[in-house]
Amino acid sequence: MDHKTPADFRPDFLWGAATSAYQVEGAWNEGGKGPSVQDARTNHPEGTTDFKVASDHYHRFEQDVELFAELGLKAYRLSIAWSRIVPDGDGPVNPEGIAFYHRLFDALLAHGIEPVLTVYHFDLPQALQDKGGWSSRVTIDAFERYCKVLFEEYGDKIKYWLTINEQNMMILHGAAIGTTAAGPGPGSGSGSGSGSENPKRELYRQNHHMMLAQARVTRLCHDMLQTAKIGPAPNISVVYPAGSHPDDVLAASDFNAIRNWLYLDMAVYGTYNPTAWAWMTAEGIAPEIAEGDLETLSAGRPDFLALNYYTTATVAAPLEGEAGAVEGGDQQLAVGERGVFRTVSNPHLARTEFGWEIDPVGFRSTLRDVHDRYRLPIMVTENGLGGYDTVEDGKVHDDYRVAYLSAHIEQMRLAVSDGVDVIGYHPWSAIDLISTHQGVSKRYGFIHVDREEFDLKDLGRLRKDSFFWYQQLIKSNGSA
């Protein structure tokens, strides 16, 4: 549908940018911080680094916040490292960690930048993982206690709270993003403590526990902080059928349910998506629902939905007898699910240097679908292009990133014209950081960080061309 005069973004639109703690902070064992599953991770692809120093934001946050202010950010989406606040996950609170985030939030607020806070972004404390991680209900209690500390400490500084980053990707691609160890199978990571013989059943048990944890802290947030707003932050993208064959359309509908609606239906309605539940039941992987779980799940309703969007998926009906489940791949490269769907490449879409398809129109469709189903305000908490940047004469000419972001913003504006209530947009990422599974070389930031995979150089900051472009775009409230 064409709009002759596309709508404007709302005047209080939160033009932001995003990072996560373990990818940007470094100082992995300083300031009393305990190790997280990301620090314990060993499955970095060959030739890429770990997260020990990252972008050294822990030591340079004041300089970075100055740059964010110069960029003109109205908001900044960041995460707290759980193991900086509670080093062993459920034991004593670490005052140095508490003080660090107070300093960071104060610096942002002093520059008029609204912090949008994710409480858990892929970095479960390793001590909890050793006790069973999300397979154990102990982790639900620990998560609620950790969030209570955050609400008490930072409740007067943070208005927008995000519960769990990309829970769906932790379930579908946990090995690639380091939340379950690579090994014999998903969910078989160290200390899963499950004793389950079916790794996939174990994963969906963990999923159920995360949903309970999310519902409990959503409710707690509302009880403790009257004006705060809280929502989930899954990775959502519509799934296209490869063609008009009814079996392909059905396969797309199934994958939409398993990938997207399972997570949002639960967050918004407190119930399992029926198609996803039927699939889990048929596979023998449906989680056990304990007494009281359904009441808990329906008691934590979000105020808004956050979503991360990078690309769409295109799927076809499975081939007869074909093996292959959703294992391997990454956040955007699903492989398939036996008897349900198989991923095909979309001939209409170009790809990034890292193989992710580029689909701005799919962004508009995704926003519309989420709005149609849930009628809640939407905050986009990630969207961006990972590429190999090069510095020439002290400049980074990242016109490819500008092209990607401006095409997506144009489609987001059309979604607003379609009636979607988009309240904010946070490109990934504010500053260069370590990719979830492809190291330093896959860069996303508006600000270049001078380091390579294993040579830390001086970690100096440099404004890329995209920095100046985004600065102008924010000034014009998205119409530049």
Nearest to ligand BGP of 241, 386 (CB atom): 386
- Residue 452: strand, helix, or coil: coil
Nearest partner of 405 among 427, 378, 387, 390, judged by Cα = 427
Out of 166, 202, 337, 357, the active site residue is 166
Per the CB < 8 A criterion, the answer to whether 174 and 168 are in contact is no
Q: What string of H, E and C letters represents the secondary structure of 379-434?
A: EEEECCCCECCCCECCECCCHHHHHHHHHHHHHHHHHHHCCCCEEEECCECCECCC
Task: Please state, in angstroms and rounded to a whole number, the distance separating the CA atoms of residues 303 and 380.
Answer: 14
CB of 271 to ligand BGP, least distance (A): 26
Per the CB < 8 A criterion, the answer to whether 385 and 352 are in contact is yes
Angle at 380 between CA 376 and CA 386, to 5 degrees: 160
CB of 383 to ligand BGP, least distance (A): 10
Q: Where are the beta strands (DSSP E) in 27-110?
A: 75-79
Question: What residues contact residue 351 under an 8 Å CB cut-off, 6+ apart?
Answer: 357, 358
Nearest to ligand BGP of 248, 398 (CB atom): 398
Nearest to ligand BGP of 114, 330 (CB atom): 330
Task: Please state, in angstroms and rounded to a whole number, the distance separating the CA atoms of residues 290 and 328.
Answer: 31
Per the CB < 8 A criterion, the answer to whether 387 and 442 are in contact is yes
CB of 53 to ligand BGP, least distance (A): 17
CB of 451 to ligand BGP, least distance (A): 16
Residues making up the chain, counted from first to last: 480
Residue bearing tokens 């990454």: 330
Burial of 278 (0-12, 13-18, 19+ CB in 10 A): middle
Nearest to ligand BGP of 189, 384 (CB atom): 384
Residue 401: HSE in the Cβ half-sphere, 13 Å Cα cutoff: 30
Q: Which residues does residue 202 pair with via DSSP β-bridges, in sequence order? A: none
- Residue 302: strand, helix, or coil: coil
CB of 334 to ligand BGP, least distance (A): 13
CB of 430 to ligand BGP, least distance (A): 12
CB of 95 to ligand BGP, least distance (A): 28
Nearest to ligand BGP of 152, 353 (CB atom): 353
Nearest to ligand BGP of 43, 472 (CB atom): 43
Task: Please state, in angstroms and rounded to a whole number, the distance separating the CA atoms of residues 310 and 322.
Answer: 28
Per the CB < 8 A criterion, the answer to whether 384 and 405 are in contact is yes
Angle at 217 between CA 13 and CA 84, to 5 degrees: 85
Where on the chain is the footprint of ligand BGP (CB under 6 A)? 20, 23, 165-166, 169, 235, 308, 331, 382, 386, 428, 435-438, 442
Let me know if 392 is a catalytic residue. no
Nearest to ligand BGP of 173, 413 (CB atom): 173
Nearest to ligand BGP of 122, 261 (CB atom): 122
Q: How many CB atoms lie within 10 A of CB 141?
A: 13
Whether omega before 298 lies within 30 degrees of 0, making that bond cis, reads: no
Per the CB < 8 A criterion, the answer to whether 322 and 348 are in contact is no
Let me know if 166 is a catalytic residue. yes
Catalytic residues: 166, 382
